[in-house]
Amino acid sequence: MTYCLGIITQTGLVMAADSRTHAGVDNISTYRKLFSFAVPGDRVIILCTSGSLSLTQAVLTCVEKDIEKQAATNLYSCKSLYDVAGYIGGKIRELHDQHRAWLKKDGIDFSCRFLLGGQIQGDAPKLYLIYNQGNFIQATPETPFLQIGEIKYGKPILDYGLTYSTSLDMAARLALISIDSTMRSNLSVGPPINLVLYESDRLIINHQIQLDQGSPYLLQMDRFWETVVREAAMRLPDIRWQTHPDPEFGTARTGIEDDLPQGQHGNL
């Protein structure tokens, strides 16, 4: 399992991914899940991957080969990020067609998802989630983040703290807190954490970082967030407990009286 997320705001993009892959509790490995492709001044393309490692690596290999041989359609020839999403989706379908029968025969799961973010000159930044079938959806101002992998533990952080008008710096912090919360609750997600911040219309990546196991910043953030959550809980208003029975909750039952015919309760 893995956890990747993408955030789009009025001023740019933030994308982050962990690097843990496992095939059982005794077979855990580290593989990079965030990849960037850029032609400074023309385009910035960032991909995050989840699912079958063999499938995602095969897709990325095909993408790189198309760039090397200058295929008619490749990441650097697509006219828009929408076209890039369609191109990646097509690669997923091609690989499914090649391998599905053999993998299905052995009961091997062969599914994946991609996050695609970036900007191509002449167009605004975009963020897409590409499904295993090759179709895709786009993030919007109303829903400014997309996730793949182990999404449930980190989603509440984004729901509470993120809007389309959030600054990029704050979005990056929320992304790391979201990943940290996921690592706390699911051991299949873990460092190194790769994070990219892209400012709209720059057409170059100026802000990226890898946070490894034991990173001072990760440790500091984890301790700080734990303290803040506890302090916030203590500052909540006191619970106003009910001191009298509420009819909606019913009254205590003995398990005997309610089974007796009416009028016989007093004989017990």
Q: Which of 146, 161, 121 is CA-nearest to residue 7?
A: 146
* Cis status, amide bond into 125, omega within 30 of 0: no
| Helix-strand-coil split of the chain, %, nearest 5 | 35, 25, 40
Q: Is the pLDDT of residue 252 over 80?
A: no
Residue 113 is assigned to a structural domain of this protein: yes
Residue 146 is assigned to a structural domain of this protein: yes
Give me the phi and psi of 126, to 5 degrees please: -140, 160
Q: Is the pLDDT of residue 267 over 70?
A: no
Under a CB-based contact definition with an 8 Å cutoff, are residues 149 and 3 in contact?
yes
- Predicted local confidence at residue 251, as pLDDT: 53
Q: Domains in the chain: how many in total? A: 1
Residue 252 is assigned to a structural domain of this protein: no
The 3-class secondary structure across 65-126, one letter per residue, is HHHHCCCCCCCCCCCCHHHHHHHHHHHHHHHHHHHHHHHHHCCCCCCEEEEEEEEECCCCCE
Structure tokens at 13: 């993009």
- Axis crossing angle, helix 53-68 with helix 81-105, rounded to the nearest 10: 130
Under a CB-based contact definition with an 8 Å cutoff, are residues 235 and 55 in contact?
no
Q: In what order do the strands lie in the sheet with 34-39?
A: 34-39, 43-51, 112-120, 126-130, 136-138
For residue 183, what are the domain limits?
Answer: 3-231
Cβ atoms < 10 Å from Cβ of 187: 12
- Predicted local confidence at residue 101, as pLDDT: 82
Residue 236 is assigned to a structural domain of this protein: no
Distance (Å, whole) CA 161 – CA 124? 24
- Predicted local confidence at residue 114, as pLDDT: 98
Q: Which of 100-104, 192-196, 215-219 has the lowest average pLDDT? A: 100-104
Under a CB-based contact definition with an 8 Å cutoff, are residues 13 and 126 in contact?
no
Q: What is the mean pLDDT of residues 13-26?
A: 79
pLDDT above 70 covers what percent of the chain? 88
Residue 50 is assigned to a structural domain of this protein: yes
Residue 102 is assigned to a structural domain of this protein: yes
Q: Is the pLDDT of residue 219 over 50?
A: yes
pLDDT single digits (tens) 170-192: 999 999 999 999 999 998 899 99
Residue 152 is assigned to a structural domain of this protein: yes
pLDDT above 90 covers what percent of the chain? 77
Q: Is the pLDDT of residue 40 over 60?
A: yes
CATH code of 156's domain: 3.60.20.10
